């Protein structure tokens, strides 16, 4: 598990997650992503799931926490490049409605 953080000029932070997201990995991902949010104060956070090979419910919690963090700062969150099974998990959890879909 790892996360690669990059930034677009218009204030968008991209967190590309790779590997497996379980409760152990989610803890480290939260810390890394939140540190980047605190350091860079983006307007939008994009969570890129293209490199995720496994995700349990901890991934939903990871997204919910980043959504709350960004909302408190007046920002937004988007989910991008989700494999089909992650898309389905997010839909079942109602995250597509909360985040405006893909």
Q: What pLDDT shows up at residue 100?
A: 55
Measure the CA angle with vertex 14, ends 57 and 79; round to 5°: 40
Asked if pLDDT for residue 40 goes beyond 70, the answer is yes
Query: What mean pLDDT is predicted for residues 27-37?
Result: 97
Please tell me the CATH superfamily of domain 2-98, with its number: STAS domain (3.30.750.24)
In this prediction, residues 55-82 reach a mean pLDDT of 95
What does the DSSP assignment read for 53-93?
A: EEE-HHHHHHHHHHHHHHHHTT-EEEEES--HHHHHHHHHT
pLDDT at res. 9: 83
d(CA 27, CA 93): 20
Q: Which position has the higher pLDDT, 34 or 101?
A: 34
* Structural domain boundaries in the chain: 2-98
DSSP secondary-structure letter at 31? H
């Amino acid at each position: 598990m790892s996360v690669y953080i990059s930034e677009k000029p218009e204030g968008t932070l991209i967190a590309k997650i790779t590997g497996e997201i379980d409760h152990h990995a989610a803890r480290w991902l939260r810390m890394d992503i939140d540190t980047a949010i605190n350091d860079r104060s983006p307007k939008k956070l994009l969570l890129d799931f293209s490199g995720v090979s496994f995700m349990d419910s901890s991934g939903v919690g990871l997204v919910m926490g980043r959504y709350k963090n960004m909302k408190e700062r007046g920002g937004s969150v988007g989910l991008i490049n989700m494999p089909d099974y992650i898309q389905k998990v997010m839909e079942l959890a109602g995250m597509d409605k909360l985040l405006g879909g893909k």
